[in-house]
Chain A
Amino acid sequence: MLKNYFKIAFRNLWKQKGYSALNIFGLAIGIACASLIFLWVQDEVSFDDYFANKADLYKIKTFLADKNSINTYDATSGLLAANLSADIPGVENSARSSVISQKLFSINEKNLNAKGNYVDPAFLDMFELKFLKGSPSTAFNQLYSVILTQNLANRIFGSTDNVIGKSVKINTEKEYVVSGIIEDLPDNMSFEFEWLLPFKVYEQENNWLEYWASIGVNTYAELEPKTDITAINKTLYNYISTKHKGSIMKMSLYPMSRWRLYDTFENGKEITGRIKYVKLFSLIAWIILIIACINFMNLSTARSQKRAGEVGIRKVLGAGKNRLIFQFMSESIITALIATLLAVLLIYISLPFFNILVEKELLVNFFDPLHLSSLLSITLLCGVISGIFPAYYLSSFKPVKVLKGLKIKEGSARWVRKGLVVAQFSVSVILIISTILIYQQIQHIKDRNLGFDKEHLVYASVNGNIQKNFDPIKNELLQSGFVDNVSMSTNTPLDKGSSAANFSWQGKNPENQVMITYEGVTPDYLKTMGISVKTGRDFYANTDADSTNIIVNQAFADVVGNKNIVGSTIQWENEPLTVVGVVNDFVYNNLYEKSSPLVLYASASGNYLNIRFKRNTDLANALPALKNIMAQNNPSYPFEYKFADEQFEKSFKTETLIGELAGIFAALAILISCLGLFGLAAYTAEQRTKEIGVRKILGASVQGLTASLSLDFLKLVGLSCIISFPFAWWIMDDWLQNYAYRINIDWWVFAIAGLAAVLIALLSVSYQAIKAAIANPVKSLRTE
């Protein structure tokens, strides 16, 4: 029986090669596209699965209310971890980690940079890091010890054998002894360290860790299995105020299972996160699959006349309706299976490109039961979705009628078909509109006035002798003729990490602990960055002369609410500081929002070196000169620099990815829809051959016939536009609400999308229409 179905399915597919190709190709694109998306989704949802005890791991979130809202931070006080285990029952373990940073590893003449964190010894146990050499219990026994990943150990020593006990110089300052080698971390996890250093070393260098009010380290907690976290959160919520009187800082546990996908907070509440993209892309995957399935449905029911006779005969010979449904369903499943084989090929071809696009290293392995079963499920589902309506429709034919050769009154099927075409094009139009608007929004932000000049601005980490040789470096750079200004700062131009709540001023509401970003800068910083002074003055060339002075941004002045803030006093902890200038707001941290309040203080040192090239500098000449100067003044470190504008571009990674994916999905949706339309047009033309022949004999023109044939389809596309416009507007307006700095939705975007859909549809339909219209009527009438 099955054999018979297979046979007839293959013969039917073969007989209708053109239609089969359209069906199979459309389905294959849909399946391949959906599979790639699901691969991405799988990678996202399996984030941090590396940790067997994931369910018991948490980080501590800090909440601080200011005038308008509650801000949420990953950063905590350095004092928290040690107190946590002692004070709060249920907390089995807790550990601190510094934010990730880059260090130079030197051995003999070899220098290389690698990223890592300072962590407490408990960190090693909590996260059950897999030690290949050494052991977590002894790795940090010695103060100056370092744990390396297998990969980094190989890069430094060329091997992991006999590395334990060897020493390596870090940041050209201190020798550290390798005390452990751990397995490399997979890509899909929250940590990306290559080395770990004892937190005790970090403590020695950062005395702010001793304050409850200064937050800047991550604190992690491992709970005893099945601990009630509500009770712990209750204690944690006001915990800081028990340690530091008057603090309004609140805290709570945040489970590891939510770090990757949910970590976006608004007003102290988790609102969403990457999960929205996971959901969005999954939805799009299903939509693309359904669009492909629609082609199959439409072409099958359109061609039903051809199958009607067969249905009649089979019924006469005793086939029941269910048996016929089963037969037609198996045909659609077989078609889906063939499409899947083609899809597998497409997946293999496109995976490397997809990986570049999403910046992952996704692997597909059809021997992996999960991948295989997912693919088979998709296949089966496609077969069922595409087959079910045609199967019911075809199997309901009355044998008496079809065997008499009567034309079947299509009735419902024709309306369903039209409805499905409208659905396909509506989705396509929505995707086109979304793509345009996403690009517009990204461009809008890229073009916004940042308040500083990101072009021709280079920055680099201050390491080795840069601090010591800053003056000669600065002089040589200025004398090179390529450079306008040089300065140092605590943070990079775009990311300013540290912020604190311990600023106060006259008239400040003590309830309102605004987080203020603060940054130490050397003289000429404002000039280097191209930030303009609004009122007051820039720092003097002599840092000491400004040791108790600060410059604030307009946002800060607005928070203080003092129109004449220049000259007034601001308290930082207990130190009074005088505001000597206000700068115009410039964008940092969140490029989509307005600037947050910022304090600049004069400093003789910094973590980053900022270099402003002259406007018309030829970088091809300037960069070697720069490297040369740096090599002379800081010989032991390779000079690694970044362009501010490039970093700026990179910060749109997610948005750009969404824009690109939306564009690709839109193109695919349109392509698949057009394949279907092409098939339908071919079928309609074929069905109307006789009518066209008669019309031509009676004097109809080719143009007139082409237009009349095409118009039927264009009406459907037109209807799709009408349906999709409000949806697209609603979806994109909602999306744009995520951005404080956003575009207005213009009507012409809709016009362009609609026009594009109509033109593309016309292109796929008109070929068939013209072909039918220019055919010789004598021939077409004879064949009837």
Chain B
Amino acid sequence: MIKIKDLEKYYATEDVKTIALNKLSFEVKEGEFVAVMGPSGCGKSTLLNILGLLDDPDGGSFLFNGTEVAGYNERKRANLRKHNLGFVFQSFNLIDELTVFENVELPLIYTGVKPAERKQRVEEVLEKMGIMHRRKHFPQQLSGGQQQRVAVARAVVNHPKLILADEPTGNLDSSNGNDVMDLLTELNSAGTTIIMVTHSEHDAKYSHRIIRMLDGQKVTENILSEFTH
């Protein structure tokens, strides 16, 4: 599903050039759950941004479902993003001015789903995440765990092929964290590909494979469980 080869990304200020990704290459198969680990500044988030089509690589190739997407313009990226990708962030990134229901509904609006169907799909996913009773609340009125459930619900409501999770449990206590990891595992079992950036060895164990990075390069790969296509 994803094939990156010799991916490069630099950050340049006036006199310092920082290499964030240094000829990084790997592949992720459809239905796989991959964890990306490494110390701060190793390029994990940069990688996730590029995979999420939020940022452009400076070199190398990025094939998404066999199509080269490095170099796509913003409109094309946005289009690809909204139909194929779901995001879960450490800091939830819910819109404070929208209710739980409206936050989850947003991706469906952007993909042009009709109101009646939107309602049905949002309620379905809220039910599944166990936050249906909170649908009229605003994010500030929820606990961290509940907010991340909403974020996950928002990430999956559009049935994305790939979920990108950036430290999804980073702001949660262990019990809430486990709940979220269980949710992601469940989604993965149902067929969604997941790439998760994490600091937590505990969380990484939920995945099939851990890619460890340092200084923008892949250093090791641990296969935790057999993934069969």
User: Min CB distance, A406 to chain B, in Å?
Assistant: 12
Q: For the complex, is A283 an interface residue (Cβ under 8 Å from B)?
A: no
- A313 to B93 CA separation, bound complex (whole angstroms): 7
A317-B107 in contact (CB<8A): yes
User: Min CB distance, B139 to chain A, in Å?
Assistant: 11
Q: For the complex, is A114 an interface residue (Cβ under 8 Å from B)?
A: no
Contact of A317 among B82, B96, B97 (CB under 8 A): B82
Q: For the complex, is A319 an interface residue (Cβ under 8 Å from B)?
A: yes
How many chain A residues touch the partner (CB < 8 A)? Answer: 26
B74-A320 in contact (CB<8A): yes
Stretch at the interface among A7-15, A260-268, A369-377: A7-15
- A307 to B176 CA separation, bound complex (whole angstroms): 29
Contacts of B107 in A (CB 8 A): 317-318
Indicate with 1 or 0, residue by residue over A314-338, a CB within 8 angstroms of chain B CB atoms: 1111111101000000000000000
A309-B78 in contact (CB<8A): no
Q: For the complex, is A310 an interface residue (Cβ under 8 Å from B)?
A: yes
Contacts of B98 in A (CB 8 A): 7-8, 11
A316-B110 in contact (CB<8A): no
Indicate with 1 or 0, residue by residue over A15-47, a CB within 8 angstroms of chain B CB atoms: 100000000000000000000000000000000
A318-B78 in contact (CB<8A): yes
Contacts of A317 in B (CB 8 A): 81-82, 87, 106-107, 110, 154
User: Min CB distance, A473 to chain B, in Å?
Assistant: 83
Contact of A323 among B89, B94, B97, B110 (CB under 8 A): B110
Q: For the complex, is A312 an interface residue (Cβ under 8 Å from B)?
A: yes
Indicate with 1 or 0, residue by residue over B148-161, a CB within 8 angstroms of chain A CB atoms: 00000010000000
Contacts of B106 in A (CB 8 A): 4, 314, 317
B78-A315 in contact (CB<8A): yes
With known contacts A1-B109, A323-B110, A400-B54, A316–B87 Cβ distance under 8 A: yes
Contacts of A15 in B (CB 8 A): 96-97
Indicate with 1 or 0, residue by residue over B74-106, a CB within 8 angstroms of chain A CB atoms: 110011011100010101011111100010011
Q: For the complex, is B143 an interface residue (Cβ under 8 Å from A)?
A: no
User: Min CB distance, A779 to chain B, in Å?
Assistant: 21
B81-A316 in contact (CB<8A): yes
Q: Which residue of B lies closest to A318 (CB)?
A: B82
From 13 to 30 in chain B, residues with beta carbon under 8 angstroms from any chain A beta carbon are none
Q: For the complex, is A399 an interface residue (Cβ under 8 Å from B)?
A: yes
Contacts of A345 in B (CB 8 A): none
Contacts of A315 in B (CB 8 A): 54, 78
From 265 to 297 in chain A, residues with beta carbon under 8 angstroms from any chain B beta carbon are none
User: Min CB distance, B49 to chain A, in Å?
Assistant: 5
Most buried by A among B79, B93, B102: B93
User: Min CB distance, A410 to chain B, in Å?
Assistant: 18
Q: Which residue of A lies closest to B154 (CB)?
A: A317
Q: For the complex, is B215 an interface residue (Cβ under 8 Å from A)?
A: no
B110-A400 in contact (CB<8A): no
Q: For the complex, is B200 an interface residue (Cβ under 8 Å from A)?
A: no
Contact of A4 among B78, B79, B109 (CB under 8 A): B109
Q: Which residue of B lies closest to A402 (CB)?
A: B93
A310-B82 in contact (CB<8A): no
With known contacts A317-B106, A318-B82, A400-B55, A312–B93 Cβ distance under 8 A: yes
User: Min CB distance, A482 to chain B, in Å?
Assistant: 77
Contacts of B45 in A (CB 8 A): 404
Contact of A319 among B49, B89, B110 (CB under 8 A): B110
B78-A320 in contact (CB<8A): yes
Q: For the complex, is A756 an interface residue (Cβ under 8 Å from B)?
A: no
- A314 to B109 CA separation, bound complex (whole angstroms): 11
- A175 to B227 CA separation, bound complex (whole angstroms): 118
Contacts of B154 in A (CB 8 A): 317
User: Min CB distance, A148 to chain B, in Å?
Assistant: 67
User: Min CB distance, A749 to chain B, in Å?
Assistant: 49
Q: For the complex, is A403 an interface residue (Cβ under 8 Å from B)?
A: yes
Most buried by A among B75, B109, B154: B109
- A405 to B87 CA separation, bound complex (whole angstroms): 17
Q: Which residue of B lies closest to A319 (CB)?
A: B110
Q: Which residue of B lies closest to A10 (CB)?
A: B97
A321-B82 in contact (CB<8A): no
User: Min CB distance, A12 to chain B, in Å?
Assistant: 6
Contacts of B111 in A (CB 8 A): 318
Indicate with 1 or 0, residue by residue over B125-147, a CB within 8 angstroms of chain A CB atoms: 00000000000000000000000
Q: For the complex, is B31 an interface residue (Cβ under 8 Å from A)?
A: no
- A400 to B81 CA separation, bound complex (whole angstroms): 14
Q: For the complex, is B52 an interface residue (Cβ under 8 Å from A)?
A: yes
From 40 to 57 in chain B, residues with beta carbon under 8 angstroms from any chain A beta carbon are 45, 49, 52, 54-55
User: Min CB distance, A703 to chain B, in Å?
Assistant: 37
- A315 to B91 CA separation, bound complex (whole angstroms): 16
Q: List 9 A-B contacts (CB under 8 A).
A: A1-B109, A4-B106, A314-B95, A317-B110, A318-B79, A320-B78, A321-B74, A398-B55, A403-B93
Residue positions of B touching A, CB distance < 8 A: 45, 49, 52, 54-55, 74-75, 78-79, 81-83, 87, 89, 91, 93-98, 102, 105-107, 109-111, 154
Residue positions of A touching B, CB distance < 8 A: 1, 4, 7-8, 11-12, 15, 309-310, 312-321, 323, 398-400, 403-405
Q: Which 6 A-B pairs have the closest CB atoms?
A: A318-B82, A318-B110, A11-B97, A320-B78, A317-B107, A400-B54
19 further A-B pairs in the complex, CB-CB below 8 A; given A4-B102, A320-B75: A1-B109, A4-B109, A8-B95, A8-B97, A15-B96, A310-B95, A312-B93, A313-B93, A315-B54, A316-B81, A316-B87, A317-B154, A318-B81, A318-B82, A319-B78, A320-B78, A323-B110, A398-B54, A400-B49
